[in-house]
């Protein structure tokens, strides 16, 4: 009883009246993290199958072979989505389920049928799908052909994107080309911590980021030229960002460090797409200066955008933001011989001791950072429509279904978003909680839980049970819906 009172009071405190009538209330997932069915019905392997099947890469050598088994249990997921009252659901396609070798020469009809069912079921319940074309899980065959380091990848990705627009675009109106190029390039090719597990500090990271931008731009231009007039959808790319604040706001050096932290993370991708068509000036100058110091050829590490290719500037119909945490930032002075992204960036972020940590050590809970970041995006990137395409709070250790700290987190975060809308005039159009379900959290396997629904990974049925925070989120959505109805009458 007591808990119900607590929940009610929390959700009641969110200023729902501030949110626009057509606000997208969503939750997000990604194919490899939930689907399972890794080798059934014609699906080809992805870099994540290979990575997770390699000993020592993932917590307790866990894999996404079964995960939440959403490939078989989609009906259960749909029930969860409806239970929350979501208006939108963000999912990703497994590229190698649709095109097993990554190329459009070989289409897997069972993969097409699966996603058709998902999309049709959502639409039948008036839930809008938002589809990410590639959320970290590149088809392995394309990886073997050079993957994201090869310039050819932009052609493969464009063909895949066109195939998806043609096949599903009559119903899907929100497309995200790629998820978090920063995380993929940095953790996948600099640190070697996620698939494909490459460690080539200070070089591959920029090439991969560049090819991701080229691939994204190609797909956006294809949509714009061939599909937009018929399908009237929107296409963007999901960019993650911390909010960086100077360690000492009174120190000009720390202020500059925080700016540079933003340039090397969000700006790396947002500046070319939303502002100038090129990388931030601080990235160009830092990387060039350090290359000279290291005796490397100028322009070899951070590639140039070719004038012979369609421009990357303007290739997003909205701003898709994934926000999790904030950092206090100061300068570092790397050794002269150090070749790494960190040395290029020349700054370092740390966690303020007053910020609570939830689950994973990197995740300091700073809801107010989101408001500041939203305002920064408004001011830096020409006041775009913003969808928060991921934001969440994790649990590690014993499962707590009455997750009151996560309830508080959603409450505080949604309050910060309402302040951004009302007081800062930011055009926030939607919010997607990460995640609908507990799932395969990359190298942490199943040891970290982000779901609004608990999933019992010890049972074949993979039972889904709502967390207190799921009920809380549902209550906020329902209050908003009631408010809109009253406003209309
Ligand atoms: C994001 C990623 C998600 C999810 C989340 C929580 O970087 O897009 O797939 O894992 O982090 O760590």
pLDDT the model gives residue 299: 65
- Ligand 1 center to residue 63 CA distance, Å? 16
pLDDT value of residue 277:
98
Is 325 near ligand 1, meaning CB less than 6 Å away? no
Task: Return the bridge partners of 432, or none.
Answer: 26
- The whole-angstrom separation of Cα 405 and Cα 365 is 10
pLDDT of residue 336: 83
CA distance 459 to 24: 33
Cβ–ligand 1 contact at 437 (below 6 Å): no
Give the whole-angstrom CA distance, residue 161 versus residue 110. Answer: 18
> Which atom belonging to ligand 1 lies closest to the Cα atom of 179?
8
Q: Is the dihedral of CA 172, 173, 177, 183 positive or negative?
A: negative
What per-residue confidence (pLDDT) applies to 297?
76
Token pair 């289409």 is found at: 107
448 lines ligand 1 (CB under 6 A): no
180 tagged catalytic: yes
Closest CA to 472 of 393, 396, 397, 419: 393
CA of 367 from ligand 1 middle (Å) equals: 17
CA of 472 to the centre of ligand 1 (A): 22
Ligand 1 atom nearest residue 442's Cα: 10
CA of 151 to the centre of ligand 1 (A): 26
- For residue 434 and ligand 1, the question of a CB distance below 6 A is answered with yes
**Which residue ranges form the domains of the chain, and what is each CATH number?**
5-488 (3.20.20.80)
Cβ(438) to ligand 1 under 6 A?
Answer: no
Ligand 1 proximity of 137 Cβ (cutoff 6 Å): no
pLDDT of residue 9: 62
Residue-level pLDDT at 3? 46
Which of 29, 141, 144 has the alpha carbon at shortest distance from 95? 141
Ligand 1, closest atom to CA 240?
7
Q: Which residues of 471-480 are buried (b: 16+ CB within 10 A; e: fewer)?
A: bbbbbbbebb
E strand residue ranges, 128-286: 128-134, 174-179, 234-240, 243-246
The CB of 467 under 6 Å from ligand 1? The reply is: no
Count CB atoms within 10 A of the CB of residue 5. Answer: 9
- Closest residue by CA, ligand 1 atom 12: 441
Residue 11: per-residue pLDDT: 77
* Given 390, 416, 441, 472, the catalytic residue: 390
Ligand 1 in reach of 242 Cβ (< 6 A): no
Catalytic one of 180, 416, 441, 472: 180
- For position 1, what pLDDT does the model report? 36
Do residues 305 and 278 make contact, with C-beta atoms less than 8 angstroms apart?
yes
Ligand 1, residue 180: give the atom nearest the CA.
8
If one counts every other C-beta atom within 10 angstroms of the C-beta of residue 290, the result is 21
Asked whether 30 lines ligand 1 (CB < 6 A), one says yes
- What is the token pair recorded at 284? 């160009």
135 CA from centroid of ligand 1 (Å): 9
Q: Which atom of ligand 1 is nearest to the CA of 450?
A: 6
CA of 384 to the centre of ligand 1 (A): 23
Q: What tens-digit pLDDT sequence spans the chain (489 residues)?
A: 344 444 556 778 899 999 999 999 999 999 999 999 999 999 999 999 999 999 999 999 999 999 999 999 999 999 999 999 999 999 999 999 999 999 999 999 999 999 999 999 999 999 999 999 999 999 999 999 999 999 999 999 999 999 999 999 999 999 999 999 999 999 999 999 999 999 999 999 999 999 999 999 999 999 999 999 999 999 999 999 999 999 999 999 999 999 999 999 999 999 999 999 999 999 999 999 999 999 997 668 999 999 999 999 999 999 999 999 999 999 999 988 999 999 999 999 999 999 999 999 999 999 999 999 999 999 999 999 999 999 999 999 999 999 999 999 999 999 999 999 999 999 999 999 999 999 999 999 999 999 999 999 999 999 999 999 999 999 999 999 999 999 888
Q: Nearest Cα to 310, choosing from 414, 369, 226?
A: 226
């Amino acid at each position: 009883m007591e808990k119900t009172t607590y929940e009610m009071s929390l959700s009641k405190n969110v200023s729902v009246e501030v949110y626009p009538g057509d606000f997208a209330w969503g939750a997000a997932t990604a194919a490899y993290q939930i689907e399972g069915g890794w080798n059934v019905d014609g699906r080809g392997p992805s870099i994540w199958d290979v990575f997770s099947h390699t000993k020592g890469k993932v917590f307790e050598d866990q894999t996404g072979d079964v995960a939440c088994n959403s490939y078989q249990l989609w009906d259960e997921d749909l029930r969860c989505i409806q239970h929350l009252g979501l208006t939108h659901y963000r999912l990703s396609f497994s590229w190698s389920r649709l095109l097993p070798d990554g190329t459009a020469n070989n289409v897997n009809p069972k993969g097409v049928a699966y996603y058709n069912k998902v999309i049709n079921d959502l639409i039948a319940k008036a839930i809008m799908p938002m589809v990410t074309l590639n959320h970290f899980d590149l088809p392995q065959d394309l990886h073997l052909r050079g993957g994201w380091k090869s310039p050819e990848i932009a052609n493969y990705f464009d063909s895949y994107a066109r195939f998806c627009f043609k096949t599903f675009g009559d119903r899907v109106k929100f497309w995200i080309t790629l998820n978090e190029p920063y995380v993929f390039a940095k953790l996948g090719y600099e640190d070697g911590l996620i698939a494909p597990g490459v460690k080539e500090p200070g070089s591959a990271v920029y090439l991969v980021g560049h090819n991701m931008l080229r691939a994204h731009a190609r797909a956006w231009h294809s949509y714009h030229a061939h599909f937009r007039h018929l399908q009237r959808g929107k296409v963007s790319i999901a960019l993650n960002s911390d909010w960086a604040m100077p360690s000492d706001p009174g120190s000009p050096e720390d202020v500059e460090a925080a700016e540079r932290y933003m340039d090397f993370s969000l700006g790396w991708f947002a500046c070319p797409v939303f502002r100038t068509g090129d990388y931030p000036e601080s990235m160009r100058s830092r990387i060039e200066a350090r290359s000279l110091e290291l005796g490397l050829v100028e322009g070899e590490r951070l590639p140039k955008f070719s004038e012979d290719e369609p421009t990357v500037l303007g290739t997003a119909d909205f701003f898709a933001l994934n926000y999790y945490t904030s950092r206090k930032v100061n300068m570092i002075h790397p050794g002269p011989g150090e070749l790494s992204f960190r040395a290029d960036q020349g700054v370092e972020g740390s966690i303020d001791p007053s910020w609570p940590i939830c689950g994973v050590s990197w995740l300091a809970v700073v809801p107010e950072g989101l408001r500041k970041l939203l305002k920064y995006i408004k001011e830096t990137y020409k006041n775009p429509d913003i969808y928060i395409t991921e934001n969440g709070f994790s649990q590690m250790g014993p499962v707590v279904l009455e997750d009151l700290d996560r309830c508080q987190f959603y409450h505080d975060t949604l309050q910060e978003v309402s302040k951004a809308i009302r007081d800062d005039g930011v055009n926030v159009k939607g919010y997607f909680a990460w995640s609908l379900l507990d799932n395969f959290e990359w190298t942490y396997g199943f040891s970290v839980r982000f779901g609004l629904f608990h999933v019992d990974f010890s049972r074949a049925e993979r039972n889904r049970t709502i967390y207190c925070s799921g009920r809380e989120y549902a209550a906020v959505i329902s209050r908003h819906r009631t408010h809109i109805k009253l406003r209309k009458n």
